[in-house]
Structure 1
Amino acid sequence: MVPTGERSYLLLKVDRVEDDLWMSQPEAARQLGIALIRIGALIANGHLTPVENPVGRAGVSIASVQAERIWRENAPLRAKVARLLTDAISWF
């Protein structure tokens, strides 16, 4: 059985990448210090890039996780609030 967060993407067409470019969703959540459910929201809002590893497990690109981490560390509060509002509005 494949752990939750590592199953393949059923409704998204995503690239399949090598293991050294891929990170599991649970590991991405640990790296970013957020809950696993937030990874899905970040993917849905285009802040993380969904990819599959060579065996078809769902994950995100390491590059997008690194970019998100850098953004979170350096973005001013104003940018974070603006992003939160933009993401919330996009759900409606």
Structure 2
Amino acid sequence: MDTIEDNAWMSQPEAARHLGVALTRVGMLMANGHLTPAQNPAGLAGVTTVSVQAEETWRANAPIRAKVARLLKDTISWF
């Protein structure tokens, strides 16, 4: 996990609030490569702000077909 500056880092609970999802969903998004894990200089685990912004943009602009396809792909990858 990369260490990045505080202004480029977001805690997992903060990312969940920002995206409007449950904390467990943030973990799933990280496991599926949609959010980039990182730690701040203090060593706290979280995600990059850039990846949260990219996820927010994708959620706002992706058509329903893309969202369903992503859900299926992510579900299959868990098996």
Q: TM-score normalised by the shorter chain: which range applies?
A: over 0.9
Question: Displacement, 1:41?
Answer: 0.1
CA offsets, 1:35-83, max 9 Å, x none?
0000000000000000000011000000000000000000000000000
Task: Detail structure 1 runs of 4+ shifted over 3 Å in the superposition.
Answer: none
Structure 1, unpaired ranges of 5+: 1-13
Q: Counterpart of 2:3? A: 16
By percentage of residues, which structure has more helix? 2
Larger Rg: 1
Q: Of 50, 58, 71, which aligns to 2:58?
A: 71
Pairs aligned (count) = 79
Give distance in 2, aligned partners of 1:65 and 1:19: 14
RMSD: 0.3
Q: Percent identity among equivalent residues?
A: 70
Q: Counterpart of 1:85? A: 72
Q: Secondary structure at the match of 1:54?
A: coil
